[in-house]
Structure 1
Amino acid sequence: MTSSHNRESRLMQLFPIVGWLKSYTREEFNGDLFAGIITAILLVPQGIAYAILAGLPPQLGLYASILPPILYALFGTSRTLSVGPVSIAAIMIASALNAPQISALGDPIQSALILSAESGVVMLLMALLRMGGLVNFISHPVLTGFTSGAALLIIGSQLPQLFGIKMPSCGLDTGCYNAIFQTINIAAILIGFSALGLLIFFGKPMIFILKKANVSLSLVTAISKCGPLLTIILATLAVIYCHQQVAVVGSVPSGFPVLNITFGSIEKWRLLLPYSGFIALIAYVESVAIAKVTANLRGEKIAPNQELIALGAANLAAAISGGMPVAGGFSRTMVNFSAGARTQMAMLIAAGLLALAVIFFSPWFENIPKAALAAIILVAIIPLVKLNNIAVTWRYDRGDGIAEIATLLGVLVYGIEEGITLGIVLTLISHLRKTSKPHIAVVGRLPGSEHYRNIKRHRVETWPHLLLLRVDESITFANINYIEDFINAELRRQPGIKHIVLIFTSISDIDTTALEVLENLNHTLQALGMTLHISEAKGPVLDKLEKTDFIEQLKPGKVFFHTEDAVRELARP
């Protein structure tokens, strides 16, 4: 029985879908059906728009919205995450495809499929190495700076589409810019800005009107999220029946491509690997962050390492089914959640509906104007530009503020990969700087109590021959010299000190270098007629110290369980 239970537990761990299917109810299906239909409505315009944003044919975005969500539904631990093409990944794909060494190889479709495959392999390798916790190594300020920078790049790339113009590289040639303005397409502007206005109206204004009319919340969500599809339909009809000469999507093949796992040369895979690594990292971090938002709202749990498996499988599925790299999309996920999705059945329904659309309705996509797609992208992207966050971060922590600004500017000036690398490096430098100069407090006793607090913040009792120091950081090679200098400075300031007590309440570790310096400091203090003591050391720290002769070297210094014990014994003249 136990063996059978263990097998079932392992099966549900690898395939979370088995767990929720066992207790799946009709009520949950009703919620999933409604949410799946609403999400499918979003998938069509977003899939086409993000493929074009990446510089790829529209079908790659549509294909990436069918098989990948199905694979994620099998392996993923989030019940509402919507996996498919996303804006940030699209701009990273465009950056990779436009790199000189990649564009020189030709065939961008093949390169995009390799990016999907390699991203999937990278994620699966990360899962194998149990690197799910890697999500914690990219700080929120760096991620915000990167997202804002990438969003600004996307906005810049879509404005020409909105105005119906092509943007050559003009540099300082003013005549070139004059020629660009002469090519502005009035029809594209009318379509683009009309689409923009309609999408904005379907946002907060429409929601406000519907709520005022006492429309049910689910119906409010359904109507407001139909904006992109209605925009596409109206814009396409304008192109067809008004015979407007604007840039359109063009031919979209009907049906599905043949599943393929043999594409690209070894050299192309090698050149694309660094770009795939960055896409995999950002796709994973963004997806887990989004999944946690909806999971927390329902008291559900996300398994980060299992998410690597699910997203890796989804990207491999995208590669073999002719799709671009995928990740969890914030707007689609929130729509899916708000529409009442209870499980990944909603995404299975959405993928099925999109598959039907690709099989039977692909010819309808040909006349979709790119100006309308640009409007959809702009409305989805503008909220991601969070410049006000920089001021908030700067006021709270200068190091994080610098990292956020540097990441944003790095993305804009140097590129996607360089920008986020710069941000991560600056975050690590900031962390090391803080670690190398830990907060050290000279403490005293609050009158009438056994509590010890910083003498600079509280009125406390102190003793002329006793120095109590609290180090608020683990002691390592990076900060031990700073700690030693601080102690020496205090001893020069208080020449009558006979006993120094290091309070270890905030210390979780002492590395080998730090221990050696502490030993030398102890010898120096003893030579000067002073005694070093320790109080309130944690068990694991004491375990490490007891493996050495440091405690023996402290004598006549002692290890006290409480700081109060040290004071009672040492405060006497």
Structure 2
Amino acid sequence: MTSIATRLIPTWLRQYQLAALPTDVIAGLVVGVLVIPQSLGYAVLAGLPPVYGLYAAIVPVIVYAWLGSSNVQAVGPVAITAIMTASSLLPYAEQGTEQYALMASLLALMVGSLLWIAGRLKLGWIMQFISRGVSAGFVSGAAVLIFISQLKYLTDIPIAGSSLIGYLSTMQLYARQLHPLTLLIGVIAFALLVANRYGSKWVWRTWLSSSSAKWAERLFPLILLGIAILLSMALHWDARGVATIGNIPQGLPRFTLPHIPDIQEALKLLPTAGLMALIIFVSSSSVASTYARLRGEKFDANRELTGLGLANLSGGFFQSFAVAGGFSRTAINVDSGAKTPLASLMTVLVMIAALIAFNSALAPLPYALLGATIMASIIGLIDIATLKSAWQRDRLDGASFIAAFVGVLIFGLNTGLVIGLMVSFASLIWQSSQPHVAIVGQLAGTGHFRNINRHDVVTFHNLLMLRIDESLFFGNSESVHRRILNALQQYPEAHELILIMAAVNHIDLTAQEMLSTLNQELALQNKHLHFSFIKGPVMDVIEHTPLIAELSGQVYLSTMDAVNALKQI
């Protein structure tokens, strides 16, 4: 019985310290109140009625709090999953709200299933294959698309599409439908939100203390929401053509079986579900692992996969769309003092209260304010700093950023991500195919050997020492062979070639055959091939191969041993 309870009750709850209760409660309440407008906006971004943003912040949050790997990560609707949902379900937009919502829940269920399966298969290691350039380029491109897509709520122009070209073409086509009052409301709200977010040092800190200014900055979007509702009611904006969210259904999300179309339709969603699962895992893991490191806690990538998977899977049965760990809401959660997932459970209570008690109060809220809220918050995701850093330090990663960014803008989210990944993998392959091979010499009076182009070293006329700084495989064996031959041409007097293998962790069959060919070529020139510093696991692979059996030289434990034995020849 005890072992069953241990498996069912999470560690954080079994070891809960009552001293953390006050800060957890406060943090949960703060996050819940502050992200209400954000959640409503992300539902609209996903193509759903605003209430679905509150639905997505209930059941998935409870499940992740119970099973997730992070004590402080705040899970819920986020911009990337919202726009990917809208992009993938665009063909279903004309089938009615109910049908569309069911398809969004089906997509969440598929994403959750893939994440859960990946967790069971312990595929957490896959995160390391998504380069910083690709992830930052994808998020930046998606942020630009999200920003432009929200112009429809600030202008009342029916902008549609899945790429920059699609958005701009429909904007131009329906430009005459612009609604001046809606534009005025949206622009003013956007300007105020941007000033609050990026100019708080001047807006608030001029007359408030640092701590008070921080809370003023956080509460301002909520205050603006309240003001917009009051103005909408007093000035009858809905009667003057301003779109408002209207009555929000009262009550909690219902248990609903997602709509399952024929198998062909479901298979069409599978690639998108896979990409969404990957993005959700990478972005959420980045947030969770960062805070785990800062807090001195352990992060388990496979448990994160399982927690995110079950959160999305369960949400699919309770009118949710795909969710992930949010950058901003997690930061607010931590800054507000959250210690454990109990804070997230308190956030759920705020969402439930909003659905039960305050649903009618939100009815006059203009869509223009929700669009402005998303536009202001999304600017920070356009990561120019990473592009500058990558271009200065690693051009290949910078190229991956640009490929993902431009691909997203031109071809849409899914294709853009694939393009970025392809460029990233191509860069990885190119780097592996061009290994560093250094000609080395001995540091005088020591047993150390260094690159002759970087250090003042001693060389020996009859010895050529080359250090190979990469494992040898079919992708780089020809390149290594060519570089060795070029080095031999530079030093024709050297009759003893020593290959220093300290950095070589594997030699595949193609590389073994290349080295055997090299050995034969040297033998024809009355030269000898020697190895030093071959690692044990590598020697286990090649020990009984023709490469060692027919070796014209010797295998030495160290380069110093090789030099002492050969420099006398």
TM-score (norm 1): 0.92
Q: State the distance in 1 between where 2:63 and 2:210 align.
A: 33
Identify the residue that residue 187 of structure 2 maps to in structure 1.
Answer: 193
Q: Give the deviation of 1:479 after TM superposition.
A: 0.6
User: Cα deviations across residues 155-180 of structure 1 (Å, max 9, x unaligned)?
Assistant: 111123223433378999x9997885
Aligned with residue 178 of structure 2, among 168, 180, 184: 184
Unaligned 5+ residue runs, structure 2?
A: none
Identify the residue that residue 236 of structure 1 maps to in structure 2.
Answer: 229
- Give the counterpart letter for 2:517 in structure 1: N
Judge which range, 561-570 or 395-404, deviates more: 395-404
The residue correspondences of 1:182-221 to structure 2 (distance < 5 A) are 182-203=176-197, 205-206=199-200, 215=209, 217=211, 221=214
The residue correspondences of 1:387-402 to structure 2 (distance < 5 A) are 387-402=384-399
Assess, with a 3 A threshold, how the Cα gap between structure 1 residues 175 and 388 changes in structure 2: closer, same or farther: closer
The residue correspondences of 1:50-69 to structure 2 (distance < 5 A) are 50-69=42-61
- Give the counterpart letter for 2:558 in structure 1: H
Classify the secondary structure of the residue corresponding to 1:305: helix
Identify the residue that residue 485 of structure 1 maps to in structure 2.
Answer: 482
Q: Give the deviation of 1:72 after TM superposition.
A: 0.1
1:257 matched to 2:257: no
Q: Give the deviation of 1:128 after TM superposition.
A: 1.8
The residue correspondences of 1:15-414 to structure 2 (distance < 5 A) are 18-98=10-90, 100=91, 102=92, 107-167=99-159, 180-203=174-197, 205-206=199-200, 215=209, 217=211, 221-244=214-237, 245=240, 246-261=242-257, 263-267=259-263, 268-414=265-411
RMSD between superposed Cα atoms in Å: 2.5
Q: State the distance in 1 between where 2:160 and 2:504 align.
A: 58
Maintained 8 Å contact 2:196/2:203: no
Q: Give the deviation of 1:464 after TM superposition.
A: 1.4
- Give the counterpart letter for 1:25 in structure 2: Q
User: Cα deviations across residues 95-131 of structure 1 (Å, max 9, x unaligned)?
Assistant: 1011x4x557762112101101100111111112211
Judge which range, 432-441 or 394-403, deviates more: 394-403
Q: Give the deviation of 1:133 after TM superposition.
A: 1.1
User: Cα deviations across residues 168-193 of structure 1 (Å, max 9, x unaligned)?
Assistant: 78999x99978855443332233223
Q: State the distance in 1 between where 2:175 and 2:294 align.
A: 49
Aligned with residue 472 of structure 2, among 455, 467, 475: 475
Judge which range, 139-148 or 293-302, deviates more: 293-302
Q: State the distance in 1 between where 2:195 and 2:382 align.
A: 20
Judge which range, 457-466 or 280-289, deviates more: 457-466
Q: Give the deviation of 1:311 after TM superposition.
A: 0.4
Assess, with a 3 A threshold, how the Cα gap between structure 1 residues 297 and 504 changes in structure 2: closer, same or farther: same
Q: State the distance in 2 between where 1:391 and 1:515 align.
A: 41
Identity of aligned residues (%): 36
Aligned with residue 539 of structure 2, among 542, 548, 562: 542
Assess, with a 3 A threshold, how the Cα gap between structure 1 residues 56 and 459 changes in structure 2: closer, same or farther: same
Judge which range, 528-537 or 20-29, deviates more: 20-29
- Give the counterpart letter for 1:339 in structure 2: S
Q: Give the deviation of 1:570 after TM superposition.
A: 0.8
Q: State the distance in 1 between where 2:30 and 2:130 align.
A: 33
Judge which range, 23-32 or 206-215, deviates more: 206-215
Classify the secondary structure of the residue corresponding to 1:261: coil
Q: Give the deviation of 1:213 after TM superposition.
A: 6.5
Classify the secondary structure of the residue corresponding to 2:297: coil
Q: Give the deviation of 1:31 after TM superposition.
A: 1.0
Q: Give the deviation of 1:548 after TM superposition.
A: 3.0
1:566 matched to 2:559: no
Q: Give the deviation of 1:509 after TM superposition.
A: 0.8
Q: State the distance in 2 between where 1:168 and 1:451 align.
A: 65
TM-score (norm 2): 0.93
Q: Give the deviation of 1:264 after TM superposition.
A: 2.0
Unaligned 5+ residue runs, structure 1?
A: none
Q: State the distance in 2 between where 1:570 and 1:277 align.
A: 57
Q: State the distance in 2 between where 1:513 and 1:544 align.
A: 13
The residue correspondences of 1:420-569 to structure 2 (distance < 5 A) are 420-555=417-552, 557-569=553-565
Classify the secondary structure of the residue corresponding to 2:307: helix
Q: State the distance in 2 between where 1:175 and 1:533 align.
A: 66
Maintained 8 Å contact 1:43/1:65: no
Judge which range, 370-379 or 196-205, deviates more: 196-205
Maintained 8 Å contact 1:198/1:227: no
Assess, with a 3 A threshold, how the Cα gap between structure 1 residues 89 and 177 changes in structure 2: closer, same or farther: closer
Classify the secondary structure of the residue corresponding to 2:400: helix
Q: State the distance in 1 between where 2:472 and 2:116 align.
A: 36
Q: Give the deviation of 1:297 after TM superposition.
A: 1.5
Assess, with a 3 A threshold, how the Cα gap between structure 1 residues 214 and 566 changes in structure 2: closer, same or farther: farther
Maintained 8 Å contact 2:158/2:171: no
Classify the secondary structure of the residue corresponding to 1:544: helix
User: Cα deviations across residues 40-68 of structure 1 (Å, max 9, x unaligned)?
Assistant: 01231111100101111112211000110
Q: Give the deviation of 1:460 after TM superposition.
A: 1.2
Q: State the distance in 1 between where 2:479 and 2:28 align.
A: 59
Assess, with a 3 A threshold, how the Cα gap between structure 1 residues 439 and 525 changes in structure 2: closer, same or farther: same
Judge which range, 221-230 or 76-85, deviates more: 221-230
User: Cα deviations across residues 72-104 of structure 1 (Å, max 9, x unaligned)?
Assistant: 011111111111100011111111011x4x557
Q: State the distance in 2 between where 1:128 and 1:396 align.
A: 37
Q: State the distance in 1 between where 2:254 and 2:125 align.
A: 36
Q: State the distance in 2 between where 1:179 and 1:409 align.
A: 24
Judge which range, 162-171 or 437-446, deviates more: 162-171
Assess, with a 3 A threshold, how the Cα gap between structure 1 residues 272 and 36 changes in structure 2: closer, same or farther: same
Number of paired residues?
560
Judge which range, 149-158 or 483-492, deviates more: 483-492
